[in-house]
């Protein structure tokens, strides 16, 4: 009986192996590559036996086009990131060049048959953006498998986050830290191997990572078989300079069907987080491992503290630091003065040369201690708010300077009579609405630089209530030109007046709801980037607060 069972098990295993798709081409890198058509590689310990290490931006292993099955197929290989991957790609490399008026892209090629040349139908590339060297503090990263149909690219792309976004608030002598990520938080860990599988054919162009489908494109045509292709960037033509992805590659395989790969390895999602803090900007003298949580309370003595947080994988690899937030824990004397100011102070001015302790910073907002102003957002997919700590329910006038980087998104809002206890939403919701879209009571003067479906035009100023799509009044004009602008906003029982650079651009008359006393500034970006800066804020109360 036992022998029969053993024979049956062996036959079943053999049948399964024979019925599984088998590769039609393999390059195992055991001391050489197929055809020895390569450059700037070394042989090192691989996933199985030896692998090839790409040591420079112009490393590659090239293959002839004839090894690709045209109408349907899959390419699969293992990759291990280089050490310090996030540091390596946080700056522009010397080998990267401008092309005409265009700066080098941030994508690094894992697989390519274009090399920036003209693309025949079926051309392809597979690239990774661990972070954007142009905006190294941005939490956004991506991985893309794309194919060309002769007119446009069909992308199977996955957006990821390489770090959390941190916010903080002071409660008594405690600092409450919380963090989140817009996309799936995934770290490319130099201690781990990853299995990449890309396919083409009647199911579309599909991207798998570690056997999990991450993205699917709509291209169902043939792959290009008229040009060679490479691991790394194909070396045919490099107007931007070479952009091969560094790291170790191994077990390169090609199949003549669209395989569904088996699961592989462990997750690269965070196993925990590390909180860093200190008394100087970017100078963290303390760290605390807080486990797999998304908020943490810490008790500290009165003073000003700077915080950042980073994700940590189960191998011990710590990813890039989040945005920095700064908080001030006031002394008892300062706390008393703040309480007195709610009744006695009728004018407040802040040029942000010092931390007055009168603002609560949320999200990506921070005080730039070099330039002495507040940056609300400075990257892609960010949202930042500063809330004035004194509630304002009386009529008032506010004056401030503001400037953008002249980018393409999304906007900023001066908020008043606003409810403040919500998690702000980025992109076109401008931090004025809560996360996952939801109105929040209050008013705002929006400076909107992107036309969404609820906007009548691009580049406008408007008075909004509760949500970004509820416009009480819309005016023309834009401040999104990279220059400083002076804004004055007057709010009283009769309505709202808005002046930009001394010119009245909005006048609205009506009754305002003063239930809430939140006053502050928000800025947000989505898929495109911009920078929103605030300085020289002057708040004048027209009568005693109630």
pLDDT above 70 coverage of the chain, percent: 91
Q: What are the structural domain ranges in the chain?
A: 20-162+179-255, 332-541
The pLDDT tens digits for 347-377 are 889 999 888 889 999 999 999 888 899 999 9
Report the pLDDT averaged over residues 191-216: 98
pLDDT at 4 over 50: no
C-alpha 166/C-alpha 137 separation (Å) is 12
pLDDT at 477 over 80: no
pLDDT at 35 over 70: yes
The pLDDT tens digits for 71-103 are 999 999 999 999 999 999 999 999 999 988 788
So what's the pLDDT on residue 8?
40
- Which residues on adjacent β-strands are paired with residue 520? 387, 415
Residue 255: pLDDT band with limits 50, 70, 90: very high
Nearest of 479, 473, 460 to residue 507 by alpha carbon:
473
Report the pLDDT averaged over residues 119-141: 92
C-alpha 286/C-alpha 273 separation (Å) is 14
Q: Write down the H helix ranges in 140-270.
A: none
Looking at per-residue confidence, does 266 or 535 come out higher?
A: 535
The pLDDT tens digits for 148-159 are 999 999 999 999
So what's the pLDDT on residue 95?
95
**Residue 78 near residue 192 (C-beta atoms within 8 A):** no
pLDDT at 17 over 50: no
Q: Give me the chain's average pLDDT, please.
A: 89
379: Cβ contacts below 8 Å, ≥ 6 apart:
132, 135, 137, 138, 139, 140, 364, 525, 529
In this structure, the dihedral spanned by the alpha carbons of residues 187, 191, 193 and 196, taken in order and rounded to 10 degrees, is 30
The pLDDT tens digits for 414-442 are 999 999 999 898 888 899 998 866 899 99
Looking at per-residue confidence, does 541 or 17 come out higher?
A: 541
**Residue 419 near residue 442 (C-beta atoms within 8 A):** yes
**Residue 206 near residue 258 (C-beta atoms within 8 A):** yes
Q: How many CA atoms lie within 13 A of 499 on its CB side?
A: 13
So what's the pLDDT on residue 1?
43
So what's the pLDDT on residue 306?
94
pLDDT at 311 over 90: yes
**Residue 516 near residue 418 (C-beta atoms within 8 A):** yes
262: Cβ contacts below 8 Å, ≥ 6 apart:
211
Q: Classify domain 332-541 at the CATH topology level.
A: Jelly Rolls (2.60.120)
So what's the pLDDT on residue 362?
93
**Residue 423 near residue 363 (C-beta atoms within 8 A):** no
| Angle CA 512–513–519, to nearest 5 | 90
So what's the pLDDT on residue 115?
67
So what's the pLDDT on residue 6?
42
The pLDDT tens digits for 159-181 are 999 999 999 988 877 899 999 99
pLDDT at 7 over 60: no
pLDDT at 11 over 60: no
- 18 phi/psi in degrees, rounded to 5: -70, -30
**Residue 384 near residue 531 (C-beta atoms within 8 A):** no
**Residue 177 near residue 296 (C-beta atoms within 8 A):** yes
pLDDT at 9 over 60: no
pLDDT at 2 over 70: no
Question: Which CATH code is given to the segment(s) 20-162+179-255?
Answer: 2.60.120.200
The pLDDT tens digits for 442-472 are 999 999 877 777 766 667 899 999 999 898 9
Residue 3: pLDDT band with limits 50, 70, 90: very low
pLDDT at 526 over 90: no
């Amino acid at each position: 009986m036992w022998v029969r069972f053993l024979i049956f098990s062996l036959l079943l295993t053999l049948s399964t192996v024979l019925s599984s798709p088998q590769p039609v081409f393999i390059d195992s890198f055991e001391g050489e590559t197929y055809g020895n058509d390569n450059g700037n590689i070394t042989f090192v310990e691989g996933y199985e036996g030896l692998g090839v290490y790409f040591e420079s931006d112009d490393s590659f292993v090239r293959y002839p086009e004839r090894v690709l099955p045209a109408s349907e197929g899959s390419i699969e290989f293992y990759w291990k990131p280089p050490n310090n991957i996030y540091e390596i790609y946080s700056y522009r490399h010397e080998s990267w060049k401008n092309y005409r008026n265009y700066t080098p892209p941030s994508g690094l090629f894992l697989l390519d048959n274009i090399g920036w040349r003209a693309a025949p139908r079926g051309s392809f590339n597979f690239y990774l953006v661990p972070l954007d060297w142009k905006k190294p503090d941005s939490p956004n990263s991506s991985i893309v498998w794309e194919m060309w149909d002769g007119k446009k690219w069909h992308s199977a792309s996955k957006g990821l986050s390489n770090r959390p976004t941190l916010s903080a608030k002071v409660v008594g002598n405690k600092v409450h830290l919380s963090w989140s990520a817009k996309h799936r938080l995934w770290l490319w860990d130099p201690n781990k191997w990853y299995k990449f599988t890309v396919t083409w054919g009647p199911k579309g162009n599909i991207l798998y990572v570690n056997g999990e489908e991450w993205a699917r494109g709509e291209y169902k045509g043939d792959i290009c078989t008229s040009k060679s292709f490479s691991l790394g960037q194909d070396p045919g033509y490099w107007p931007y300079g070479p952009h091969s992805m560094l790291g170790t590659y191994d077990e390169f395989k090609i199949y003549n069907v669209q395989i569904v790969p088996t699961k592989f390895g462990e997750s690269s999602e965070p196993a925990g987080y590390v909180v860093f803090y200190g008394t100087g900007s970017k100078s963290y003298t303390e760290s605390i491992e807080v486990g797999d949580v998304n908020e943490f309370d810490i008790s500290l003595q009165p003073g000003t503290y700077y915080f950042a947080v980073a994700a940590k994988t189960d191998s011990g690899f710590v990813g890039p630091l989040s945005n920095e937030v700064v908080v001030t824990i006031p002394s008892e004397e300062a706390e008393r003065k703040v309480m007195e100011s709610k009744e006695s102070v009728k004018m407040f001015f802040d040029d942000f040369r010092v931390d007055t302790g009168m603002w609560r910073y949320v999200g990506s907002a921070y005080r730039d201690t070099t330039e002495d102003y507040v940056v609300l957002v400075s990257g892609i997919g960010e949202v930042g708010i500063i809330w004035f700590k004194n509630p304002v329910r009386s009529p008032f006038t506010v004056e401030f300077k503001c400037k953008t980087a002249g980018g393409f998104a999304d906007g900023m809002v001066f908020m008043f009579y606003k409810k403040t206890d919500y998690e702000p939403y980025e992109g076109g919701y401008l931090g004025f609405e809560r996360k996952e879209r939801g109105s929040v009571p209050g008013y705002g003067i929006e400076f909107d630089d992107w036309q969404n479906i609820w906007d009548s035009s691009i580049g406008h100023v408007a008075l909004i209530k509760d949500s970004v799509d509820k416009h009480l009044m819309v005016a023309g004009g834009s401040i999104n030109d990279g220059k400083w602008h002076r804004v004055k906003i007057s709010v009283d029982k009769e309505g709202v007046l808005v002046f930009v650079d001394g010119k009245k651009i909005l006048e609205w008359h009506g009754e305002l709801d003063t239930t809430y006393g939140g006053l502050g500034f928000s800025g947000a970006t989505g898929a495109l980037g911009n920078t929103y800066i605030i300085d020289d804020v002057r708040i004048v109360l027209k009568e005693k607060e109630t």
